[in-house]
Structures are given as structure tokens and as C-alpha cells.
Chain A
Amino acid sequence: MSEAPSVVLVTGVSRFLGGHLAARLASDPSIERVLGVDTTPPSREMRRRMGRAEFVRVDIRNPLIGKVISTAKVDTVVHASLSGNPGQSGGRSMMMEMNVIGTMQLLAACQRSDTVRRLVVKSTSAVYGASSRDPATFTEQTEPKAIPPGGYAKDAVEIEGYVRSFSRRRPDVPVTTLRFVNLIGPRIDTSFVRYFSLPVVPVVLGYDARVQLLHEEDAVAVLERAAAHDLPGVYNVGGAGVLMLSQAIRRAGRLPLPIPQPAVPLVGRFTRRARLVDFSPEQMRLLNFGRVVDTTKLRGEFGFTPRWTTVQAFDDFVAGRGLRPVIDPARLGRLQDTAQAVARALPSGA
């Protein structure tokens, strides 16, 4: 049943995930054609990396996408363009348009097509929301306590709804939905990466979130595996282990700036205006409570174990970006030597 793909269509190729996936698929000689679509052309470096993959400049909100699929006889569609970074997508309402309306059009085109026989959708673990009433880890079956109120998470919930109705209408097409945790790595650019790159990192006073991360390379590898195999179902995708937000900030050598809960939206507006980080309110809630997903199904049924743990992925990001710690660990070591010397010099039983 699990046939190797011959013509693959990848959405969102001008961004990290889509572009690198297209590049990987293009380097596989068993795949006949790789089509990458996006509204903006990929960067020169990305195009070089993509090799023989073809770039089609088309808006997936446009019915033209159906024509692309039918003329190229696309058999595998990887929808990797879901974005949670409004800065890259031309604003928040534009991001919602691209995410939700784009997915609807793409699914409509896939439903019409008689060549498509596999669909892979990139989703996000943000669909679980984040609250104090949630269990420590989310499995694929966990119902969110509160439906995310808006923004990226709500888009993702709606997209997953459309994907479910697609698979009801086309039961012959196996659909893989991948719920990614926050991606991190030396090259990818997300709101989360920008957040940790700030010299002083705002955190919510009195809260410390558990953070689960996935290395950018693992994310590409998961999508590649899903594109090449029939693995229907919903899978959580995340690295093993967690970091506390405070711990991550310390590992990156940044300084935390605790902000009282009521002032958080204000600071959020400021960082958006200053074009530092654009966090939507529901992403802010992530900073309060954090979110950890259970990846047993990914490791078992899906057959993929991320190469990087959360901690390793984060350290790779810190090393790759060349983030310099504000407090030098070597200085701490010297301080301790001094303290020990003082202790040695003190008279005993004083």
C-alpha cells in the first residue's frame, strides 16, 4: 500500500520548513518531480539548496492551485505553510487568511483531484491550548480544557477541522496531521527563536513554563518521512524532555525580566510595535503554563525518534546563533575558588 511518491507538492517553500523539505525530497532520485509553491519566491540561497525542485509562484488561496495539482499529476501534497509568525506573513489578519483560507482551497483542490493519494498537514501543538487545568502532558486524544481563543492556535484548530472533514469525504487518501511543538535551531526563524534572542527576555512574574522543543532538522525529517510513507493519523511531534523557561533563559545566558500578569499585554504590544517579537495572546499563555506533548505515538506507530532532545536542540540553537552569556561561567568558577579559599582560611569552630 505504501507507495513511494513520484510527484510531490510542498506548500510554504519560501520558509524554512517547506524549503528544506523540498530540498530533501529533490535530492531523492526516486521522486520524479518536486513542486514548491508559495506567494513569495524563496531566497537565492534556498533556491540553490532546492536543486531540481521547481518553484511555482501561486497563492494557495487561488483556485489556480487545483490546476497545478492536476497538470503536474501530483500524488503527494505536503501542506507545510501553516505559520505562527505574523511578521513573516504580512500581519495577523493576512496570516489567518493564508492559514485558514489557504488550507480550505488546497483541500478543495485535493478533494477534486484523482491523482492525489497522500496528504501531510503541518499543524501545531498549540491546538491543545495552555492552562492550569490541563494535565502535564497532552496525548493525541486529550481534549483541550479551553479552546484557544484566537490567533494562530484557533487557526490551527479550524484547519484540523477542515482536514478531518476532508478525510471523511476522501477516505481513500491517507492523511497525516503533525502537531509540532515549538521549533528551534541555528537557522530557523520563528517568534520563539526571536524571543530567546532578546538580550533581556520578558517572562510572566510568578510563572515558569515547561517548554518542549523540536530541532529544525528533526522537523524536516518528520515531514520527509510522512511524505514518503502512508502513516494516517494525528501525531504529536516534539523532542524528548523539557526545559523550564527560566532554565532555558539561563542556558542561553540571557537575563529574565519578570513582568506582572496585568502588564503582559502591554509589553506584548510594545515588542510587536518595536518589531522584536510578535506573540499573540494565546502564545503568551504558553509562557505562563507551558505545554508538553506525549510523543509515544510518534516513536511507536510513526516510527521516528527525534535525534535531538529538547535540551540538545536548545543548546544547538544557542551555539549556532553564537549567543554570548551575560554572566560568564568562568567568572563564577573563579568566584567559587575564592569562596573556598576564604572558607579554608577561616579558623575552625570559631
Chain B
Amino acid sequence: MPEARVIPLRSDGGRPRNRPRPAPRRASRPGVGPLTERTAAARGLTGPDGAVESPEVTVPAPGGELATLPAPEGPNELEERVAEVGEFLQRRVTGRYSVDDFGFDRDLTEHVVLPLLRPLYERWFRVETIGTENVPLHGGALLVANHSGTVPLDALMTTVAVHDDLAVPRYLRMLAADLVFGLPGVGATARKAGHTLACNADAEALLGAGELVGVWPEGFKGIGKDFADRYKLQRFGRGGFVSAALRSGVPIIPCSIVGAEETYPKIADIGPLARLLGVPYFPITPTWPLLGPLGLVPLPSKWYIEFGEPIPTDSYEPGAADDPMLVFNLTDQVRENIQQTLYRLLAGRRNAFLG
């Protein structure tokens, strides 16, 4: 890490190295079993949209797949799981579940989206979270993070982090670019997973409702930057997220993600092709498109997600959101905080893949 050496280190000089991984929260939750089984069940039974393929598959699939896995606590456990999956499928087929005004489908997120992301989170990237106590367990808060890695895996992993590694599971409601919602499949899934368009109206509505909102203010400039520019924060939008937080009076939680830059190292960009496809960039990585579909597999970097100390915004007088200078200053403060944390985490990291 050449850039890490030249940066003055703050405080303890890096993350705690032998910090124990937070105990898997699932074990303490009743009625929810080991991850692999849940994932297998979710994969085997539901389509990408959570749409149930056919109720007939319910009988052989859980039995067949679950039987090959070690059942830790006897047949009762297995039966419970079958009951859970069966109830989920019945809810889906008959439409007996609820979505909020933004289209957030909690049932689907809990039973399909998160279980699909969890193997990536736990096994592939071995995400380690630091400072989870800084995320409020209740009420509105704005989580601001750095964006990187060509494909927004960092955003997806953060949703798993705030659900699985907090004392109380929370759902991260992300603000995404309009491009996302125009894409078939992706847009509908993003809505169901609780995400919405990055605009002040939606941000304030969610914050006002006491939700944990996630923003990646660098946007495409951050996620699509070259590998050579890794961990260098780009411009933080126009500070719209700060004014939304100020108006709602919710704290801003800086979130620094290390590891995402190495998942898809973008070494070049084919501009004309990107324009043709109507996307912001067309990345070339060491494996994509050289190895074809294999190039879509992210490199197994070791990840750290650090939640910084909340920056309160409720001490400002009303109307502060309309003071551009204050908004710029706060934006810079958040950006600087994340940049420093990134450098500190990088300095403590020996290898991008082993941690």
C-alpha cells in the first residue's frame, strides 16, 4: 500500500487486528437456522423476483436439499424450517404481505434478498464491521459512505452489515441514481429492497419516518473511478444529503468501506461503448471482458466497514439547510472524516485479500 505509508496516521494506527468477529447474530434468533440452509431454500424455491415458480416444487426441494445438510438440532428444526419456507411461499402466492409507500417489501428482503447476499458478505468478502455502536438503533439517521468498485457491491454489503451486525437489525434505505430505477429487473428489485430515488423529497420523507437512510454522494464518479485512484474520495455531490439531514435534524454517520475497490479493479474505460449502451462507463478489469462471464466474479478482497461517530445536525437553527456555506462545510467535514478513516484502515491492512 504505497499511499498508506506517506499518510500521517491518527490515533491507534489502524484497526484492532485481533478483534473478534461479532458473534453470528442468527444463532441467537429463534426460528432462524444456519445460513446455508436458508440460502439453499431461498434459491431453490424462488425466482429472482421472489416470484414463486410453482407450488409443486415445495415438496421435494426442501426435503431433498435440507437432508444433505447437517441438521443441528434434530428433526424439529427441519420441520420448523419447512414450515417457515412453506408459510413464506403461501404469503407470496396469495399476495398477503405488505409494502410501504416506497415499495419496500420487508418479507422479501428478509427471506430472499438478504439470504442471497449473506454468503458474499460472510464467506467471500469476510466483511468485518467496526464501530457498529455508532449507528443509532432507532430513529432517523443518514449514513454517508464512500463509493467504489465499479459495481455497487459496497452498497449491498452495507445493507447486510446494518441488518446483521447491529444489536437491533435495521434496514438501510438507500438513495440511488435514477438510472437504477429505469433498468428492468434491477429497478423493481431495488424498490422492493427498500431503496428509492436520490432526491430531497424522498430522503426527507424517509428520514422523517425514522428510517436509516444510506447515501453514496460520490455517485458514478466514485464507483466508476480508475483503480489507480483507489481510496481517493471524489467530490461529494452538491451537498444535497447534508441539507436533507439538516432539515430532518438527524445525525450523519460517516461510513468508510475498505475492500470494495479491489473487487473489480477498473483499469480502463471504453467511452464510446458506454455511450452506446447509455451507461456512465464501460469498465475493463483484468478479468472482464477477457474471461467472459468469469470476469463477473468479484475478486475476493477482505473488507472492513467502519461506522464513524455520528455528526449531530439538530444543534443548528432552523433554516440552516438554506445556508450554502454551512452545508459546504459540513459536507467537507463528513468527506474528510471518511477519507482519514480510509487511510487509517488502509495503513492497518497488510494485504488486500488477506486483510
Residues of A within 8 A of B (CB): 132-137, 139, 142, 204-208, 210, 241-244, 246-251, 261, 289-290, 292, 311, 325, 327, 329, 331-333, 335-336, 338-340, 342-344, 346-350
Known: A137-B205, A343-B62, A348-B71. A251 touches B95 (CB 8 A): yes
Contacts of A206 in B (CB 8 A): 183-185, 187-188
**B 187-217 binary contact with A (CB < 8 Å = 1; else 0):** 1100110001101011001000000000000
Q: A210 CA to B183 CA in the complex, in Å?
A: 16
Contacts of A332 in B (CB 8 A): 55, 89-90, 93-94
Q: A11 CA to B268 CA in the complex, in Å?
A: 64
Known: A136-B101, A336-B58, A346-B63. A327 touches B185 (CB 8 A): no
A349 & B71 in contact (Cβ 8 Å cutoff): yes
Sample 27 A-B pairs with CB under 8 A, ordered by A number.
A132-B182, A133-B181, A135-B197, A136-B103, A136-B196, A204-B184, A210-B102, A210-B103, A242-B100, A244-B103, A246-B95, A327-B93, A331-B55, A335-B58, A335-B86, A336-B89, A339-B82, A340-B79, A340-B82, A340-B83, A343-B63, A343-B75, A346-B75, A346-B78, A349-B71, A350-B67, A350-B71
Q: Does chain A have a CB within 8 A of B322? A: no
**B 96-132 binary contact with A (CB < 8 Å = 1; else 0):** 1111111101000000000000000000000000000
A348 & B93 in contact (Cβ 8 Å cutoff): no
Q: A332 CA to B201 CA in the complex, in Å?
A: 41
Q: A346 CA to B184 CA in the complex, in Å?
A: 41
Give chain B interface residues in 293-309, CB to chain A under 8 Å.
none
Residues of B within 8 A of A (CB): 49, 51, 55-56, 58-59, 62-63, 66-68, 70-71, 74-75, 78-79, 81-83, 86-87, 89-90, 92-103, 105, 178, 181-185, 187-188, 191-192, 196-197, 199, 201-202, 205
A241 & B98 in contact (Cβ 8 Å cutoff): yes
Q: A349 CA to B178 CA in the complex, in Å?
A: 48
Contacts of B188 in A (CB 8 A): 206-208
Interface residue from B89, B101, B178, B201 paired with A132 (Cβ < 8 Å): B178
A244 & B192 in contact (Cβ 8 Å cutoff): yes
Interface residue from A242, A340, A347 paired with B99 (Cβ < 8 Å): A242
A329 & B90 in contact (Cβ 8 Å cutoff): yes
Q: A344 CA to B90 CA in the complex, in Å?
A: 20
- Which one of A132, A137, A251 has the greatest number of beta carbons of chain B within 10 Å? A132
Interface of B is mostly: helix
Contacts of B183 in A (CB 8 A): 206
Contacts of A139 in B (CB 8 A): 201
A136 & B192 in contact (Cβ 8 Å cutoff): no
- Which one of A205, A251, A349 has the greatest number of beta carbons of chain B within 10 Å? A349
Told that A136-B103, A243-B99, A346-B78 touch, could you supply 9 new A-B pairs with CB distance under 8 A?
A: A135-B202, A242-B99, A242-B101, A244-B105, A244-B192, A332-B55, A338-B59, A339-B63, A343-B82
Q: A153 CA to B251 CA in the complex, in Å?
A: 41
B86 & A336 in contact (Cβ 8 Å cutoff): yes
Q: A220 CA to B94 CA in the complex, in Å?
A: 30
Nearest A-chain residue to B62, judged by Cβ:
A339
Contacts of A343 in B (CB 8 A): 62-63, 66, 75, 78-79, 81-82
Q: A333 CA to B93 CA in the complex, in Å?
A: 11
Q: A311 CA to B100 CA in the complex, in Å?
A: 12
A348 & B74 in contact (Cβ 8 Å cutoff): yes
A247 & B95 in contact (Cβ 8 Å cutoff): yes
Contacts of B51 in A (CB 8 A): 246
A132 & B181 in contact (Cβ 8 Å cutoff): yes
- Which one of A136, A248, A327 has the greatest number of beta carbons of chain B within 10 Å? A136
Q: A335 CA to B55 CA in the complex, in Å?
A: 8
Known: A336-B86, A340-B86, A350-B67. A210 touches B58 (CB 8 A): no
- Closest CB-CB distance, B313 to chain A, in whole Å? 22
Nearest A-chain residue to B97, judged by Cβ:
A247
- Closest CB-CB distance, B189 to chain A, in whole Å? 9
A136 & B95 in contact (Cβ 8 Å cutoff): no
Contacts of B98 in A (CB 8 A): 241, 311
Contacts of B102 in A (CB 8 A): 136, 210
B99 & A210 in contact (Cβ 8 Å cutoff): yes
Q: A135 CA to B178 CA in the complex, in Å?
A: 10
Contacts of B196 in A (CB 8 A): 135-136
- Closest CB-CB distance, A194 to chain B, in whole Å? 20
A336 & B83 in contact (Cβ 8 Å cutoff): yes
Interface residue from B95, B192, B199 paired with A248 (Cβ < 8 Å): B95
B55 & A342 in contact (Cβ 8 Å cutoff): no
Contacts of A350 in B (CB 8 A): 67-68, 71
B71 & A210 in contact (Cβ 8 Å cutoff): no
A247 & B99 in contact (Cβ 8 Å cutoff): yes
Nearest B-chain residue to A345, judged by Cβ:
B75
Nearest B-chain residue to A337, judged by Cβ:
B86
Contacts of A205 in B (CB 8 A): 184
Q: A47 CA to B183 CA in the complex, in Å?
A: 49
- Closest CB-CB distance, B65 to chain A, in whole Å? 12
B199 & A135 in contact (Cβ 8 Å cutoff): yes
Interface residue from B67, B81, B103, B197 paired with A242 (Cβ < 8 Å): B103
Q: A302 CA to B90 CA in the complex, in Å?
A: 40
Interface residue from B55, B78, B181 paired with A348 (Cβ < 8 Å): B78
- Closest CB-CB distance, A336 to chain B, in whole Å? 4
Nearest B-chain residue to A333, judged by Cβ:
B90
Contacts of B100 in A (CB 8 A): 241-242
Q: A340 CA to B63 CA in the complex, in Å?
A: 9
Nearest A-chain residue to B184, judged by Cβ:
A206
A244 & B197 in contact (Cβ 8 Å cutoff): no
B59 & A342 in contact (Cβ 8 Å cutoff): yes
Q: A332 CA to B91 CA in the complex, in Å?
A: 10
By Cβ-Cβ distance, the 4 closest A-B pairs, closest first, are A206-B184, A250-B95, A336-B86, A251-B95
Contacts of A142 in B (CB 8 A): 201
Q: A133 CA to B201 CA in the complex, in Å?
A: 12
B184 & A136 in contact (Cβ 8 Å cutoff): no
Nearest B-chain residue to A135, judged by Cβ:
B201
B75 & A207 in contact (Cβ 8 Å cutoff): no
- Closest CB-CB distance, B249 to chain A, in whole Å? 19
Contacts of A349 in B (CB 8 A): 70-71, 74
